[in-house]
Amino acid sequence: MSSDARPRVFVTRNIPDAGLEIVQAACDAEIWTEPLPPSRDVLLEKIAGCDGVLSLLTEQVDAEFFDAAGDQLAVVSNYAVGYNNIDIPEATRRGIRVGHTPGVLTNATADMAFTLLISAARRIVEAADYVRDGAWQTWEPRGHIGLDLCGKTIGIVGMGRIGFAMAKRCHGGWDMSVLYHDQYSNETAETELGARRVDLDTLLSESDFVSVHVDLNETTTGMFNSEAFKKMKTTAVFINSARGPLHVSSDLHEALCDGQIFAAGLDVTDPEPPAADDPLLSQKNCLVVPHIASATVASRNGMAEIAANNLLAGLGRKPLPCWVNPDVDEDNGTAQD
């Protein structure tokens, strides 16, 4: 890129104006405005020769992607806090900076996890469908019985920012005891919420509700499988607002069908989106929403701003405000003009 040329970037979807305006003011930007993501072939064509890409979780950012973009690619800025769609070691090796959007979606995501928990426990969608279907005839003393939440035990798998925010809601609002499983201890959770760090088996067997908040990686993929569901209480509710492949869909379906657990609330599925005939979708005790945990005005605008600022910093070969790979191999990056 010559010093007077504006950097060329591709934005893989129509993100909020709060971010687009920042990008468009500084770059020669092409924005993909279709509702569905570009096909792989189109994506690889669009990124060829770009200095930066603002990507979404729907894009697989790997060696093929980097090859198609070319050696001048300086930065990939993911419009998400998670970055399991990006091959980070490969980006780092190639000197490509990678950014993400933590913090601004913590409360919205924890709100969604709690919404799923209370909705699944109280069978809200099932009951609303009953009314819509015209089936409501009288007040039913034994109908639509759900679970109590107050004073129960919440099990948080992954006590990071979002796990902590979910635990805080459960403890502060509903007086729940908090168990957590994490490779690190979280002193704030232990001091402020009385949280107890336990092994996964203890968490699964002692929790009334289990909410997962870990990253998706090789060790966490499929961690909620038949074996895990069998260890949970038959009255347990399983909540996943993190990544679909953390649970094994067929095992979850079996656990819900066989009464191994009471209900599940999912913001994420595997695959995503699920097929129309995915058995989980017709399971009454499974509540599924379309990966909308961060879908609030403040969260999405905040994510857009951070993603845009990460992009611009990377184009300038500067530290990214929210940088996934600060250990990037500078020697491999293109020298700044």
85 binds ligand DGY (CB under 6 A): no
18 binds ligand DGY (CB under 6 A): no
- Output the CA–CA distances (angstroms, integers) from residue 45 to 57, 61, 64, in the order listed: 18, 14, 12
The residue count of the chain comes to: 337
Alpha helix locations (H) across 200-296? 200-206, 226-231, 249-257
The verdict on whether 253 is a catalytic residue reads: no
Specify the DSSP element, H or E, that contains 300: helix 297-315
294 binds ligand DGY (CB under 6 A): yes
> Among residues 249 and 294, whose Cβ is nearest to ligand DGY?
294
Maximum Cα–Cα distance across the chain: 75
Q: Which residues are CB-neighbours of 285 under 8 A, at least 6 positions away? A: 120, 123, 126, 256, 262, 263, 264
Distance CA 239, CA 146 (A): 16
Distance CA 230, CA 145 (A): 23
82 binds ligand DGY (CB under 6 A): yes
Six-digit token string for 110: 């924890």
Q: Which residue stretch of 4-12, 28-36, 80-88, 151-159 sits at the interface with ligand DGY (rule: CB under 6 A)?
A: 80-88
In the set 20, 74, 76, 105, which binds ligand DGY (CB under 6 A)? 105
The verdict on whether 100 is a catalytic residue reads: no
Within its chain, how far is the Cα of 320 from the centroid? 21
- Output the CA–CA distances (angstroms, integers) from residue 204 to 164, 228, 238, in the order listed: 18, 7, 10
Q: Which residue stretch of 44-52, 76-84, 114-122, 319-327 sits at the interface with ligand DGY (rule: CB under 6 A)?
A: 76-84
Distance in Å, CB of 87 to ligand DGY, minimum? 16
> Among residues 203 and 246, whose Cβ is nearest to ligand DGY?
246
The verdict on whether 59 is a catalytic residue reads: no
> Among residues 57 and 167, whose Cβ is nearest to ligand DGY?
57
Q: Which residue stretch of 75-83, 170-178, 194-202, 272-280 sits at the interface with ligand DGY (rule: CB under 6 A)?
A: 75-83
From 123, 243, 253, 300, the catalytic residue: 243
Distance in Å, CB of 231 to ligand DGY, minimum? 27
Distance CA 177, CA 113 (A): 17
Distance in Å, CB of 105 to ligand DGY, minimum? 6
Distance CA 262, CA 55 (A): 37
Dihedral, CA of residue 224, residue 225, residue 226 and residue 229, to nearest 10: 0
**Number of residues lying near ligand DGY (CB under 6 A):** 5
81 binds ligand DGY (CB under 6 A): yes
> Among residues 81 and 255, whose Cβ is nearest to ligand DGY?
81
From 123, 197, 213, 291, the catalytic residue: 291
236 binds ligand DGY (CB under 6 A): no
Q: Which residues would be at the binding site for ligand DGY (CB under 6 A)?
A: 80-82, 105, 294
Q: Could you give the residue numbers annotated as active site?
A: 243, 272, 291
